[in-house]
Every structure is written in C-alpha cells, then in structure tokens.
Structure 1
Amino acid sequence: MQDLRQCLIYDSHEKDAKLIGVEYMVSKEIYDSFEPEEQKLWHSHEYEVKSGMLILPKPAGYTDKEWEAAELQAMEEIIHLYGKTWHFWQVDAGHEYPLGHPVLMGSAINADQLDLNTAMGKRNKTFGVHHEEKAEARKDLQPHSIHPNANSWWQDK
C-alpha cells in the first residue's frame, strides 16, 4: 500500500534482537481523512526529525556522505508523516516474553520531555552519529502545520 509505511521496531540492532513493536506512518492527507478520535492516536514526527532523534541506520555499501544525503531526503518526507506506534513487548520492564496488552506509544514532541544527550548517548555511540549534528543538517526542513488532534497524550497533560 503506497499510502502506508510500516516500520518494525526492535530492541537493538543485534542479530538476536526482539521485535517489540510496529509503527504505521501515513501522509497528512490520509491522517486528515481519519475521524477525530482516531486522529488522537497518532503522533507527529517534527521533533523526532528536527532534533536528530530519528535516524536510519546506514546499510552496507554506502559511504557516509551518500547515506547522509539519502537519510536527509527520507527525513524530508518523514517530517510530514503521522505515526501510530504499538509496542507489544516491554523488554525494558524485564519481560522474557511479550506479556500483557499491546501499548499505544507516543513520541517526544518537544525538548521539555527528555534530555537528548542522555537519551541519545548510547545510540549515538553505537551508530557513530550525534543527534546535534543531525539536527544541524535538518534545521532547514520545513514541517507542515501539525493537526491539533495529533500528539493528544501530551496535550492532555
């Protein structure tokens, strides 16, 4: 389906990683067609993209420069998408198996929610990137106006 992206979420990049969730992403046009109650289940990607939180791990066969250009092009698209993320395995809670109900997850939508240096430290080291450099490279990306129903779990606080 061309209007839907499906992203698998693993607990690591290692060969034995556990599949812990899935994120669905749709365009603003598709999101706008949803009923208001459905819209509240989705989040924007502006902060994830502009802050440098979101990266696409570099596949083999790309130089750093080639991958930076490809990733920036992808971020130009992703910044306009809305996501709905389900986590179904809480490995951070120590669960050996995917126990309990799936949990609808949001994403950070502003700098007040977390310390990026702490939150991104291990990721930055693992992948040899830095969120501040990513943010600088993405500073000119222009997001759309975020729908008022998106990110509802944060707005309700």
Structure 2
Amino acid sequence: MDNDTKASLYHSKPYMAAASAMTTFKPINAIHQHLCAFHEYSQDRTRHLEAHHYCTHLTHEFHQCIIYDSDQPNAKLIGIEYIVSEKIFDSLPAEEKRYWHSHKYEVESGYLQMQANSLVPGAWFYSGAVTDIAEQPAILEIHKTYGKTIHTWPVDISPDLPLGPPNLMVSYTGEGQGPPPEMIKARDEKCGMDTQAKRKLRASYLPEYEVRAEADQWEKTGKGIVFEAKEVPFKPYDGPGSTQV
C-alpha cells in the first residue's frame, strides 16, 4: 500500500472505528456530569455564549470541565473551566482571585442547568420531575463554588478557526446583565428545559449565601481582563544532547 492510499484511510469510518477500539480514553471516561450555562466575555458584556460543560470531579472540592459550544457530535471545543469550593477559593493568592467568578446567581437564576440524556424522561420535553430532582445535590454544591473559565475559541466572531488570544469569561451576578432572552428561549426549547420554572423551584430549597467579596472583581473595578501576547526571551533546553551554548 503506497503512502497516498495510507493517508486516505486516516479520516475513513473504518479507520476511526479501529482506532477507537484500540485506544484508551481514561480521562474522557472519567467525565460524569454535563452542565449547560451561558458565559460572557470579561472585556465585552455584549457577547454571550452557550457553554456545555463536561466535568470530572478530581476531588469533592475541585472539578475540571471541558467546554463545548453544543452537545452535538460536531461540537467545537471552546474552552475549560476549573471549579473550586469556597475553602479553596479562600486559600488563593489575592492576585489570583481576580480571575475567578461566583456561581451563586448563575444557579439561582436557572441559567446553569444539569443536562439529561435524551433517553431520560423530561430531557427533551420538559416534565420537571427527573432532571429537577436529579440535579438538586449538584445545584446545592455548585451554588457555593467559584470558577475560572478560559475560552480559547471565540466562536461568536471566528466560527471556523480558533483565532486570537484566549479570553477570560465571567458569569452573571444579577438581573439586567444578560444573556439575551432569545438565547435563553432557544436553549430551553432545544434542551427541553424551563429556566423560569427552575428559578422558582430553586428559590424553595437553596439556602441564603453571601458571595466572597474577592470574587467577581469587575463589579468593583468596572474593568475586564484581557490576555495579550508578549514576546520574552525563552529559557533554552540545557539537558543531555543540548546544542545550546
């Protein structure tokens, strides 16, 4: 078989099926939670994105999530989010805390939702019973957590390729900040959920909680954060076989 023929097999279904069968996906298989929420850019609050989080709990107090722009097979991987407990957030250096946002309002508003498999009743036509009951332990915990979210693909302005520097994303902390009503409606219809119903239900069981003052610092500074590329001298490799002088 010549090289051109070999190369042509790479994207074929038989080759991908064989590769999948012989490959381990241990980190991916550890994902056990799908959350859907909305993010906005730290430096531009007119830009909102639907964000599907696929999360692994490394510990009870530290979760890591891969973020896609949808829950479909062709979804684009647009970022990551680290979620920590109040205890871990309190231990962070002051300089680090400026990158972190709270989840309190995101949870109370109903914007953040646990997504159910389409085979589960209530997932595609909202009945309320299954997903609302199943998500309550998670919602009670997430209510008091903090997130650091970095998007590497600005799909809203660059849908074809992940261009530009990464972006710090933030969450909503109150009314009148977005996302646009039509975006919420589209998400609810697509996922078979009801944001307003979740808001009312959660008000009946979520405890009072005061967000840490060091989170959501944009509320006090009135400024967002951007990451800008800066060229610096690199430290060369100086191990065995090094050709550096």
TM-score, normalised on structure 2?
Answer: 0.60
1:156 to 221, 224, 227: 221
**What is the match of residue 139 of structure 1?**
203
Distance 2:115 2:84 in 1: 21
Distance 2:198 2:154 in 1: 28
The Cα RMSD (Å) is 1.6
Shift of 1:114: 1.7
What corresponds to 1:47 in structure 2?
Answer: 105
Structure 1 distance, partners of 2:79, 2:173, is 19
What is the DSSP-based 3-state SS (H/G/I as helix, E as strand, rest coil) of the residue aligned with 1:53? coil
- Counterpart of 1:110? 174
SS at the partner of 1:22? strand
TM-score scaled to structure 1, two decimals? 0.92
C-alpha displacement of 1:143? 4.7
- Sequence identity of aligned pairs in percent? 37
CA contact (8 A) 1:39 1:149 kept: yes
Distance 1:128 1:67 in 2: 10
Post-superposition Cα deviations, 1:3-47, rounded to whole Å, max 9, x if no partner, equal 311121111111100010111100000000001111111010011
Higher-Rg member (1/2): 2
1:92 aligns with 2:150: no
Is 1:80 matched with 2:144? yes
Q: Tell me whether 66-75 or 126-135 shows the greater mean CA deviation.
A: 66-75
The structure-2 alpha-carbon separation of the partners of 1:106 and 1:31, relative to structure 1 and needing over 3 Å to count, comes to same
> Counterpart amino acid of 2:157?
A
Number of aligned positions between the proteins? 157
Q: CA deviation at 1:106?
A: 0.6
Q: CA deviation at 1:144?
A: 2.9
Matching residue's letter, 2:148: K
Deviations 1:29-79 (A, max 9, x none): 000000111111101001110000001111255333232211122100100
5+ long unaligned stretches in structure 1: none
Deviations 1:60-114 (A, max 9, x none): 5533323221112210010010000000001110342212111111111111212
Conserved 8 A contact 1:25-1:83:
yes
Distance 2:142 2:208 in 1: 9
Q: Which has the higher helix share?
A: 1
Aligned residue type for 1:83:
G
Which aligned runs of 4 or more in structure 1 are off by greater than 3 angstroms?
Answer: 60-64
Between structures 1 and 2, the one with greater strand share: 2
Distance 1:101 1:92 in 2: 14
Q: Please report how far the alpha carbon of residue 152 of structure 1 lies from its aligned counterpart in structure 2 after TM superposition.
A: 1.0
SS at match of 2:113: coil
